[in-house]
Structure 1
């Protein structure tokens, strides 16, 4: 069978599932002013809704995964159960009448999402032969890449025409559809058929894996320190009309997809170089965005440069993790959790600087600092690789 033969339709279903999960996570960025007005809270508090979701992913995801592994529950049953939990929490969020209820619901959504994303990656790997695994995983990850292109602009457009609750219910319906299809289409697996918890914990006991985790967390944290507040920055600081925000978010998403395509083609061969250069570009783009003033084209160029890097570096980040350890469910979910811990910190720190009176662009400096920290984490690994190459 050719390596380019058709993948199972269930691989695309897993990609659609991740698309729905990631859209729900990021959609707040496109409707911050509306949510602030609806619940009479500050923009920083709305930004915290992204952080709460990410915090649930970072802390709750691994804990729930350990519980599932310890009980020997199969990956399919675990995925369906967590998707149902996600749909219920999403419905509560869509119907919420208070900020606290909305925030609590998003924490539960985040916990469910972290486990579901990790399980989608693990289930995907089991659906295909090893030589087709890379292609299949790239299709599943396309759901993450397409979220900024289609999901966030769509939910922003729906919010502007029908209100934020309509956007929230749209995501719930999509997640419900994925749940039903997954229950019917994914192949069954027996309880206890996955690697035991002890083995998966042992796979994580190595320094290169945790070094990769830290860099990944800083990359995504830097990205969302800025992206979480991009809508008010574009409208209030850059002077972009609200009706043009959704198209700009779509253009940012196109940059994500383009960057992901390039990184995906080069990640296996030039993994560390891509991560290093990507972080360097992020430092320049975020600093330039913070200093661009009212120069429209400079603002937009820096904004799109962030789209070409940031989340688009994901294939290289995943390749680094897969090289460091066997990518079982726990390794995958822990990677997701560390990334979202960085996301939560970036969104929270950006809101803190706004509340401190440092201006709407201050989160951009938070992002630049995190990207610089990520760049510094690569100094030792790159030096060790070069030293090893010289010895060889």
Structure 2
């Protein structure tokens, strides 16, 4: 869970930390309109946090996998559409929605897994997000100085976000395996009772 938290935030902030050069120098957005694009990201991020809180109560594993996959796809689309102003602005807003949908679910899962130490789990989740922000931004800064220039940060972000699917898939697989084991043991316990009823 902590690895997932680090990666999803690293992938998102690798791009967002250097979004202004991408919007102005490559997408052609006037510099005085960049704050509006950032507001779009912020509003969508708020909606994503609310959506994640709702989905986390019902299907947390499916929601995190879907949102993380959508985040990686949007980052890839930003790389491909970076020469076009409006599509890039819209994609940046959607990035806030999908990436921030994952965060509240991961925090809730961390608290659940911690059992007797929920406060520690919440603190570690925040630390994981901060670590992802620091590492992702550092890598994106190096990529910005590479021949890829403004396209470097979203490329780094795409790779990191795609890697988030690995620990998330492992969590979902472990959950399904544990649920099947529980159902199997429950079935084994109930079965003799039914047999006794029929025999009587």
TM-score surpassing 0.5? yes
**1:291 equivalent in structure 2:** 80
Answer yes or no: is 1:271 the counterpart of 2:60: yes
Partner residue of 2:170?
Answer: 380
Q: Tell me the equivalent position of 1:242.
A: 31
Candidates 117, 133, 142, aligned match of 1:352 = 142
Cα distance, 1:315 vs. partner? 1.3
Instruction: State which of 108, 115, 124 in structure 2 corresponds to 1:319.
Output: 108
Query: TM-score, normalized by length of structure 2?
Result: 0.84
Q: CA deviation at 1:241?
A: 0.8
Deviations 1:75-99 (A, max 9, x none): xxxxxxxxxxxxxxxxxxxxxxxxx
Q: CA deviation at 1:328?
A: 4.4
TM-score, length basis structure 1 = 0.44
Task: Summarize deviations over 1:257-277 as a string: whole Å, max 9, x none.
Answer: 111111111212211111111
Contact between 1:271 and 1:319, CA under 8 Å: does it hold in 2? no
CA contact (8 A) 1:252 1:307 kept: yes
Deviation at 1:327, TM superposition (A): 4.7
The 4+ residue runs of structure 1 with deviation greater than 6 A are: none
1:136-178 CA-to-partner distances (Å, cap 9, x unmatched) read: xxxxxxxxxxxxxxxxxxxxxxxxxxxxxxxxxxxxxxxxxxx
In 2, the alpha carbon distance for the partners of 1:293 and 1:367 equals 14
Residues 1:343 and 2:152 are matched in the alignment: no
Aligned residues of 1:275 and 1:316 also touching (Cα < 8 A): yes
Residue in 1 aligned with 2:188?
none
Q: List aligned pairs for 1:39-118, cutoff 5 A.
A: none
Between 1 and 2, higher relative CO (CA 8 Å, sep ≥ 6) is seen in 2
1:281–1:305 Cα contact (<8 Å) kept:
no
Matches within 5 A, 1:143-182: none
Can you give the 5+ residue segments of structure 1 that lack an aligned partner in the other structure?
1-211
Partner residue of 2:90?
A: 301
Secondary structure of 1:239's partner?
A: coil
Query: Does structure 1 conserve the Cα–Cα contact (< 8 Å) formed by 2:12 and 2:157?
Result: yes
